[in-house]
Amino acid sequence: MTHRVKVKLDGNHHAIVDAILAAGYRVQTLSQGMGVPDLLIADGRTGRMWLVEVKMPGEPLTDYQRKWASLWPIPVIVAHTPEEALAGLR
């Protein structure tokens, strides 16, 4: 049995995903709530991967997101704009 959580996507989610795809990266949406980042990004040429949390401008991480990120072995990029997301991937 699986439990599904209905998660609302931020209003800038699609713009950020579109910019990352246009830059040649692969994107998997993970949005499932409970602090898990919104996106898994992969560079098909190098095999590098990143986690990205999409937030609306001025919006902070939730307690769940901060806790999840503190327990994960790689940093979570917090992106409010497509430019911020791409800068985090460089």
Residues 24-46 pLDDT 10s = 999 999 977 889 999 999 999 99
pLDDT at 64 over 80: yes
C-alpha–C-alpha distance, residues 66 and 36, integer Å: 10
Of 34, 22, 31, nearest in space to 89 by CA:
22
**In terms of pTM, does the model score above 0.85?**
yes
The class (CATH top level) of 13-89 is: alpha beta
Domain residue limits, the chain = 13-89
